[in-house]
Chains A and B, each alone.
Chain A
Amino acid sequence: MNILFYIAAFAAVISTVKVIIGKNAVHALLYLIVSLLSVSVIFFILGAPFVAALEVIIYAGAIMVLFVFVIMMLNLSGDGVKKESELLMPTMWIGPSLVSMILLAEMVYMLTHQAVVPMGIKEVPPGAVGELMFSKYLLVVELAAFLLTAGIIGAYHLGEKEMRIHNRYLMDEKQDL
């Protein structure tokens, strides 16, 4: 079982690296989907089938599809690849890499200075998740519903074709598609 975990981890890391250094947006998105699927496999190994399924359905299924739609609308592939390579310069990698490496080093330090705790093998079925969600975390479920509603309404208004001016000082900045 451990080897499965390491293979999935390796796949996740490689695909994520290819996401961030890609120039074609659609290719990067596909690599991201691969990364998400790898993490889903890891969830299965850990004995959390419910969230593994959810990861595939919602994350890789819905959210990434949204991304694809937007990329299609903005027409970023094809000609966009050339523009993208103009935007990305090799020298820009140094600073962020440095910062992230330092952060990673600190987190590794924190992790290695603790006692080793083995993970449990017991599988947690969806039923247990459902029970917990609707008893202990009921309020949070309702709040999540609020969040989603707000997201929908916000996205609807933001996506309107004609920008309604809400402030008279922005009157001259009215734009149309």
Chain B
Amino acid sequence: MRELLWLIVALPFAGSVVLAVAGRKLPRLVCACVGVGSIAVAAVITILIGVDFLNNNSTGISYDQMLWQWMDVYGLSVDVAFNLDAVSLTFIFVITFVGALIHLYSAEFMWKEEGFARFFAFMNLFVGFMLILVLADNFLLLYLGWEGVGLCSFLLIGFWYKDPANGSAARKAFVVTRVGDTALVIGLFILFMTYHTLNIRYILASAPGTWAVGSGIAMATAFLLLAGALGKSAQLPLQTWLPDAMAAPSPVSALIHAATMVTAGVYLIARTHVLFDLAPVAQSTVAIIGATTLLVAGLSALNQHDIKRVLAYSTISQIGYMFLALGVGAWSAAIFHFMIHAFFKALLFLGAGSVIWVMHDEHNMFRMGGLWKKLPVTFWTFLIGAASLTALPLVTAGFYSKDKILWLSYVSDRGSTGLWLAGLAGAFITALYTFRMVFVTFFGNAKADPTQRPGLLMTLPLVVLGILSFAGGFIELPGNMAHLTLFSDFIEKTLPITTIREFGNNTELLFEFIAAGMAIAGVMVAYRLYFNKSFPSAEPERNALQKFLYKGWDFDLLYDKVIVTPIVFLSRVDKNDFINRFYNGLASLTQVMHVALSTTQNGKLRWYAMVLAIGAIITLTILLYP
């Protein structure tokens, strides 16, 4: 069964190629079947391989499948080979399963758009590249997947290319993540220089023996890899692209900017955990960046009026949680939160997409209202997703994953109280903005009526994801409730177990109560402020602080002043340097000569006759001259 691993990757690529080549001529139904079917079959194969892997693999040995040798030049020998272990199995399950549901949803969502086949071609291409990223067994193949998902993100953000704002958003996403990609490549250079190979497992096995803990080169490599992860995962300081990437269609936001691509950074850091163990400063930087980002993004989400931008900042914030977990060494907690976050965030984005779809592209939640009776399925699934995001206690999957992170951020030997408090404050803010969004969108008086209802293809994925957001957490219960640690046992076959400090008997229960209390408090405050209130204006009034938070802490302005303006100035200066002037001078000399010579063609007959006569004289003179 496991030999079919390559098929999981090949099917999306095949679907993409078919749609790219023949998509225009095929009818819509066939395009949808090819696009959705390729991912659906890949999901089925993934589940089968997963079951097989779990049953026969109690010792946790990973499975390698080598396809062909990619290149062998000057000592760099790279194969196209896939490596399946617990972490990559989790990732490919999420990618294909959630991906299949999102593709099914987008078959109906995008049915009336032009470029239907192009959309599915890009989506399939994206899934193919993401699968390569997580299954790669060497860094170069991983980087191929990394670049490929960046490309597909660019193509999909700018999908509606006729509006230039979408193109600018796509370009911004590409350029900002490029900064991270460059750092990643330099990190790969250092790794190759030291180890003369890019095979991941070889490097991770031999790193502790080659580099000392806290050595400069280990820290440099870890920081460079971290910078790469920051770009892709939209953390501080490279987070500015994600809110603008909401110009993409909602299924794209669900797949790329919630569930999968932005978690590539999490995957990278989890994969190279050995290098981060060797550079403790880098690891604590990961945690600090995670904690700061979740607060910054959470406060920004509190002031948005566009429903998708709330969710975008929420994604940045939740990935901050994952980075926090990675930074304190809670590897399996981070992967668990990734999986649960993929479920509920995709659900929230798809739900927001359905609301936008029925309200005819209205993104502003202050123009919606009173939808809970009119769109029941969307409302209830959205509510489950929001509850999971808020981590309401006991009934949602989000509670189990986020609580685990909060607990381990305090109790791990690399954690601290400060990190825990940041996470706690973030939980309160998350609850507040999430339920603000729910109440403003679905309750209150209706500003406009929905004109169409979502059909089966859109509601089925919502229901499935709703069930997963509710029940997905039950495989990993905290220590003091029941000893059910299926997920972390599974992950800990590949990633190390978190080392924790000593703690008191009731500390864990106390912490759980505090976390639950924070979440419920946030919901209550949101209820007081936003439930059944009328919102006359399309945008809430914002004072100066709120405006600052609304603009995402003005990072765009900062980058514009500090980076963009000097570069533009320098390029303008360089545009007129002496080399350019020389060539421009040649061109203008030609023009001047043209103007001068064209005065000899004045169209007058006598002039031409005169020129003939003068020519005759000159010829005779030449002949006669001795």
Contacts and interface: CB of A to CB of B under 8 A. Distances in A.
In the complex, A touching B (Cβ < 8 A): yes
Interface of A: 95-96, 99-100, 102-103, 106-107, 109-110
Contacts of A99: 610, 613-614, 617
Given A95-B610, A96-B610, A103 B624 contact: no
Nearest to B612: A99
21 contacts: A95-B610, A96-B610, A96-B613, A99-B610, A99-B613, A99-B614, A99-B617, A100-B613, A102-B617, A103-B613, A103-B616, A103-B617, A103-B620, A106-B617, A106-B620, A106-B621, A106-B624, A107-B620, A109-B624, A110-B620, A110-B624
Given A99-B610, A102-B617, A106-B621, 16 more contacts: A95-B610, A96-B610, A96-B613, A99-B613, A99-B614, A99-B617, A100-B613, A103-B613, A103-B616, A103-B617, A106-B617, A106-B620, A106-B624, A107-B620, A110-B620, A110-B624
Contacts of A95: 610
A107 B614 CA distance: 14
Contacts of B617: 99, 102-103, 106
Nearest to A113: B624
A20 to B, nearest CB: 13
Contacts of A106: 617, 620-621, 624
Interface string B606-620: 000010011011001
Contacts of B610: 95-96, 99
A99 B620 CA distance: 13
B185 to A, nearest CB: 59
Nearest to B613: A99
B412 to A, nearest CB: 83
B607 to A, nearest CB: 10
A70 B276 CA distance: 104
Q: How large is the interface on B (under 10, 10 to 19, 20 to 34, 35 or more residues)?
A: under 10
Nearest to A102: B617
> Which 5 A-B residue pairings sit nearest by Cβ, starting from the closest?
A106-B620, A99-B613, A103-B617, A102-B617, A99-B614
B525 to A, nearest CB: 77
B621 to A, nearest CB: 7
Contacts of B613: 96, 99-100, 103
Nearest to A99: B613
A40 B571 CA distance: 81
A95 B606 CA distance: 11
A39 B164 CA distance: 83
Nearest to A95: B610
A100 B617 CA distance: 9
Nearest to B606: A96
A109 to B, nearest CB: 7
A103 B614 CA distance: 8
A109 B614 CA distance: 17
A45 B45 CA distance: 117
Contacts of B621: 106
Nearest to A110: B624
A102 B621 CA distance: 10
Interface in B590-616: 610, 613-614, 616
B304 to A, nearest CB: 60
A101 to B, nearest CB: 10
A56 B624 CA distance: 37
A43 B610 CA distance: 31
A88 to B, nearest CB: 12
A87 to B, nearest CB: 11
A102 B618 CA distance: 10
Contacts of A107: 620
Contacts of B616: 103
A107 B613 CA distance: 13
A109 B616 CA distance: 15
B626 to A, nearest CB: 11
Nearest to A107: B620
Contacts of B620: 103, 106-107, 110
A7 to B, nearest CB: 30
A96 B620 CA distance: 17
A75 B465 CA distance: 98
Nearest to A96: B610
Contacts of B614: 99
A90 to B, nearest CB: 16
Interface string B410-451: 000000000000000000000000000000000000000000
A106 B619 CA distance: 11
A96 B613 CA distance: 9
B613 to A, nearest CB: 5
A111 to B, nearest CB: 12
A99 B621 CA distance: 13
Nearest to B611: A99
B201 to A, nearest CB: 74
Central interface residue in A102, A109, A110, by most chain B CB within 10 Å: A102
A103 B618 CA distance: 9
Contacts of A109: 624
Contacts of A100: 613
A47 to B, nearest CB: 30
A100 to B, nearest CB: 7
A48 B613 CA distance: 31
A107 B616 CA distance: 11
A92 B100 CA distance: 90
A124 to B, nearest CB: 31
A110 B623 CA distance: 10
A106 B625 CA distance: 11
A99 to B, nearest CB: 5
A99 B611 CA distance: 10
B357 to A, nearest CB: 52
Contacts of A110: 620, 624
A99 B616 CA distance: 10
B158 to A, nearest CB: 42
B625 to A, nearest CB: 11
A134 B278 CA distance: 113
Nearest to A92: B606
A9 B88 CA distance: 113
Interface string B529-546: 000000000000000000
A91 to B, nearest CB: 14
A103 B610 CA distance: 12
A116 to B, nearest CB: 19
B277 to A, nearest CB: 80
Contacts of A96: 610, 613
Contacts of A103: 613, 616-617, 620
A51 B624 CA distance: 33
B59 to A, nearest CB: 85
